Amino acid sequence: MKPASENFTSRAMIVSVAVVLIADALTGKAALAHTGDLNLHTPAGGFLSGFTHPLFGWDHVAAMVAVGLWGAFLGTPALWILPVVFPLIMAVGGALGVLGVPLPAVETGIAVSAVVLGALIAFAVRAPLWIAALIVGTFAVFHGHAHGTELPRAVNPAVYAAGFVVATGLLHLLGLGVGLAANRPAGAIAVRVGGALIAGAGIAFLTGIL
């Protein structure tokens, strides 16, 4: 039997959705042959711009996946603490970037994050939770600062922020999902190899090869 809160919210949801649908059906609409471009001035375009910003930087992608991998490797509660801490501190870094507070060597910091996190996974380092959160939080500032300073002028900043936060979280989820393979012997080796590859990619970013 479902708890009362679930029944209440389920019924409320159905009623609310029904009201919106009825109102929508009663409204006259134009027939549209084309949908128009997803430009930065639209909320969808702004969200997409923010969403793709981390994805188009392989240094961001490598580090985000590494956070998820390391969280999965460390297990609970790091499993949820790292993906929670990272976006929060990243937002602080983003705020610093938006406010024009200079942060030295941002791109170097991002590349170093891939190296360090990849190495921690490759060498199967089981750091205490507070150290893991501190490491992840420190690197999150650099990533956030990069997103904040690269905020396109034309875009709605709120939806842009939502976009890069969601993309970052999904990359963490990807890392967590892959990291769960560490529960099996062959999977553990694969995860450590993945960490080594991420660290190698970080070195390549630092040296300018990538």
Residue numbers at the binding site for another protein (CB under 8 A): 3-6, 8-10, 12-14, 16-17, 19-21, 23-29, 43, 76, 79-80, 83-85, 87-88, 90-92, 94-96, 98-100, 148, 156-159, 161-162, 165-166, 169, 172
95 or 174: CB nearest another protein: 95
User: CA 209 to CA 109: how far, in whole Å?
Assistant: 16
170 or 190: CB nearest another protein: 170
Q: Which tokens sit at 158? A: 């709120």
Residue 180 DSSP one-character state: G
9 or 108: CB nearest another protein: 9
CB of 80 to another protein, least distance (A): 4
CB of 84 to another protein, least distance (A): 4
CB of 204 to another protein, least distance (A): 29
5 or 207: CB nearest another protein: 5
User: CA 29 to CA 13: how far, in whole Å?
Assistant: 25
User: CA 51 to CA 116: how far, in whole Å?
Assistant: 25
Using alpha carbons, select from 41, 40, 66, 34 the residue that is nearest to residue 52.
40
User: CA 94 to CA 159: how far, in whole Å?
Assistant: 14
